Amino acid sequence: MKNIGVIDIGSNSVRLLLAEITAYDSFKIITELKEYVRLGEGFDDNQNLTEEKISDTIQVLNMYKNFCNSFEGTEIIATATEAVRKAKNQSYFLDKIKSSTGIEIKVLSGEKEAYYDYFASINSLNIVDGLIMDIGGASTELIWVENRNLKECISLPFGAITLTNKFNLQNAITPDQEKDLKNFFVQSFSAIPWLKEVKASALVGIGGSIRNIAKISKKRNNYPLDLIHNYSIAAEEVSSIYNNVRTKSTEQRKKIKGLSKDRADIFLGAVSAVDTLMDICKIKKLIISRNGLREGVLFSTLYKDKKLDDLLSHSLNNILTNNSVNLKHSLHIYKLTKSLFMQLKPLHRLDDYLINVVKTAAILHDIGNNISYYYHYKHSSYVILNSTIYGITPQECIMSAFAASYHRSDNLPSSFDNFKPLLDKLDIYSIKVVGILIRIAENLDKDLSGSIEDVNCTIEDDLIIIKAISKHPQDFLIKQAQGVSDSFKELFGKKLYIV
- Report whether pLDDT(371) > 90: no
pLDDT tens digits along 323-366 = 888 889 999 999 999 999 999 999 999 999 899 999 999 999 99
- Report whether pLDDT(122) > 90: yes
Interval 234-248 mean pLDDT: 96
With CA atoms as reference, report the closest residue to 17 among 3, 2, 6, 28: 6
Cα–Cα distance measured from residue 375 to residue 359, given in angstroms and rounded to the nearest whole number: 21
- Report whether pLDDT(391) > 80: yes
With CA atoms as reference, report the closest residue to 112 among 269, 261, 300, 274: 300
pLDDT at residue 378, as a whole number: 86
Cα–Cα distance measured from residue 313 to residue 334, given in angstroms and rounded to the nearest whole number: 12
Cα–Cα distance measured from residue 483 to residue 63, given in angstroms and rounded to the nearest whole number: 58
Cα–Cα distance measured from residue 211 to residue 208, given in angstroms and rounded to the nearest whole number: 5
pLDDT at residue 9, as a whole number: 97
Interval 204-211 mean pLDDT: 96
Cα–Cα distance measured from residue 459 to residue 344, given in angstroms and rounded to the nearest whole number: 8
Choice between 22 and 438, residue whose per-residue pLDDT is larger:
438
- Report whether pLDDT(114) > 60: yes
Alpha helical stretches, state H, 5-133: 51-69, 82-86, 90-101, 110-122
In eight-state DSSP terms, residue 380 is H
- What is the end-to-end Cα distance of the chain in Å, rounded? 47
Confidence of residue 414 (pLDDT cuts 50, 70, 90): confident
Interval 63-78 mean pLDDT: 95
Cα–Cα distance measured from residue 427 to residue 488, given in angstroms and rounded to the nearest whole number: 18
Mean per-residue pLDDT of the chain:
94
Alpha helical stretches, state H, 412-474: 425-444
Choice between 179 and 369, residue whose per-residue pLDDT is larger:
179
Q: Using only C-alpha atoms, what is the Rg of the chain?
A: 26
pLDDT at residue 386, as a whole number: 93
pLDDT at residue 160, as a whole number: 94
Residues 6 or more apart whose Cβ sits within 8 Å of residue 302: 21, 25, 27
Interval 98-125 mean pLDDT: 96
Cα–Cα distance measured from residue 399 to residue 133, given in angstroms and rounded to the nearest whole number: 29
Interval 107-118 mean pLDDT: 96
pLDDT at residue 198, as a whole number: 94
In a 3-state reduction of DSSP, which class is residue 397? helix
Beta strands across the sheet bearing 105-107: 27-36, 13-21, 2-9, 74-80, 105-107
pLDDT at residue 1, as a whole number: 53
With CA atoms as reference, report the closest residue to 114 among 93, 91, 133, 127: 133
- Report whether pLDDT(494) > 60: yes
Report the share of the chain in percent with pLDDT over 70. 100
pLDDT at residue 373, as a whole number: 83
With CA atoms as reference, report the closest residue to 150 among 383, 307, 23, 315: 307
In a 3-state reduction of DSSP, which class is residue 303? helix
Element (H, E) at 456: strand 452-459
Interval 30-48 mean pLDDT: 93
